[in-house]
Amino acid sequence: MRIETHAGPREVAILIPTRQRADVVVKQLKKMPFLNHSDVFYGLDNREAKSYAATLANAGLGAVHCTFVMYRNEQHSVGFCRDQLRLAGLKRRPKFDLFVVTDDNAVFKEESLTNLVRCSVEYPVQPNLTSGSGELMRYYASGKGGALKDLRVINDLRSFERVTHIFTAVPRIIYRRFAYPVESLAAEDRYRTMWALSHGIFAIRECLDAPYSKPRQQPGGTGGAEERMRATGLGFAKLAQDFPVFVGCTGSTPARWSLIMQIAKGYTFAGKLPGGSNRVSEDELISQMVKKE
């Protein structure tokens, strides 16, 4: 899709992997009808193709114009899905200038999409990785977050230096050089950022004027608590293997030992894993754990 910027029009693709969430994709397309476009790519394991097709056909959406990229994801690797979408986007002609990488349960307005693309393209340091603002955006914008590092306003769009993910604009020049490893079962977005830093790409921004929202750890996607823990652990193992200095820069393992001890004793999380927007005390997290059957 073509998005106008102060630097001229840019051709943009939106890349979204999905797994076991046909109903979520329906909700996404109903909330954001501008995504019903051939330049929006959904990545899907071919074993789920029939169930997705049936759900979409009966959802009252009318004709669905999105492009579906089919693959066989044997390892349930998010990195593999992201890379299949990356390759499909790079092959499409005419060429895309920018790829917006997001999730099947992310919600944003068309204005946010435009602002994200503009912020990325109009920022004076190229190439860059620019992401939208999640729930923290309201906290920062309210003035309660303290000083924002390197806050800049360019063509009325505010951005500052911060690593974040979920809703990210990736220039073509980066996606041509970069590839997601299949070993990144999770944390593939962190892999992309560490790769960029290791290749001298230091302009990593968050655009306050490109808000989005996203519920965490819905059914489907990476899976339940046990599958997510395993995928995250293996994803971080790949980070440590390829970027050992970045991962080891604190000189210690950032482990939450009381949680690890409970897991070793046969407990697991009944709901969401700690992290992200679910940051609570260890005592509260332990109280939410249940004994595995």
Where does the pLDDT of residue 257 fall: very low under 50, low under 70, confident under 90, or very high at 90 and above?
confident
- The better pLDDT of the pair 221, 246 is held by 246
Q: How much is the pLDDT for 260?
A: 84
State which CATH number among 3.40.50.720, 3.40.50.300, 1.10.645.10, 3.90.550.60 fits the domain covering 2-211.
3.90.550.60
170 vs 131: CA distance, rounded Å: 9
Q: How much is the pLDDT for 113?
A: 98
274 vs 88: CA distance, rounded Å: 34
User: What φ, ψ does residue 226 adopt, rounded to 5°?
Assistant: -65, -45
What single-letter amino acid sits at 221? G
Query: Is 70 exceeded by the pLDDT of residue 276?
Result: no
Distances (CA, A) of 283 to 125, 258, 286: 44, 9, 5
Q: How much is the pLDDT for 279?
A: 58
Which residue's entry shows tokens 């980070």?
239
Query: What are the structure tokens assigned to 175, written together?
Result: 């996606």
Residue range 134-141: mean pLDDT, rounded: 68
Length of the chain: 293
Per the prediction, the chain carries an average pLDDT of 91
Where does the pLDDT of residue 283 fall: very low under 50, low under 70, confident under 90, or very high at 90 and above?
confident
179 vs 84: CA distance, rounded Å: 10
Q: How much is the pLDDT for 278?
A: 53
Q: How much is the pLDDT for 227?
A: 87
Q: How much is the pLDDT for 144?
A: 58
Distances (CA, A) of 114 to 93, 110, 204, 261, 288: 21, 6, 18, 46, 40
28-66: per-residue pLDDT in tens? 999 999 999 999 999 999 999 999 999 999 999 999 999
77-127: per-residue pLDDT in tens? 999 999 999 999 999 999 999 999 999 999 999 999 999 999 999 999 999
Q: How much is the pLDDT for 102?
A: 98
Query: What are the structure tokens assigned to 72, written together?
Result: 């066989």
Q: How much is the pLDDT for 195?
A: 97
User: What φ, ψ does residue 266 adopt, rounded to 5°?
Assistant: 100, 15
User: In DSSP terms, which residues pair with 16 in a beta bridge?
Assistant: 42
Which residue's entry shows tokens 């604190």?
250
Out of 3-7, 147-151, 208-212, 269-273, which region has the weakest mean confidence (pLDDT)? 269-273
Query: Is 70 exceeded by the pLDDT of residue 219?
Result: no
165-218: per-residue pLDDT in tens? 999 999 999 999 999 999 999 999 999 999 999 999 999 999 999 999 988 666
Q: How much is the pLDDT for 253?
A: 75
Domain residue limits, the chain: 2-211, 228-291
Q: Which of 96, 269, 101, 112 is nearest to 188 (CA)?
A: 101
Where does the pLDDT of residue 271 fall: very low under 50, low under 70, confident under 90, or very high at 90 and above?
low
Where does the pLDDT of residue 263 fall: very low under 50, low under 70, confident under 90, or very high at 90 and above?
confident
Q: How much is the pLDDT for 285?
A: 77
Where does the pLDDT of residue 131 fall: very low under 50, low under 70, confident under 90, or very high at 90 and above?
very high
In 3-state terms, what secondary structure has residue 206? strand
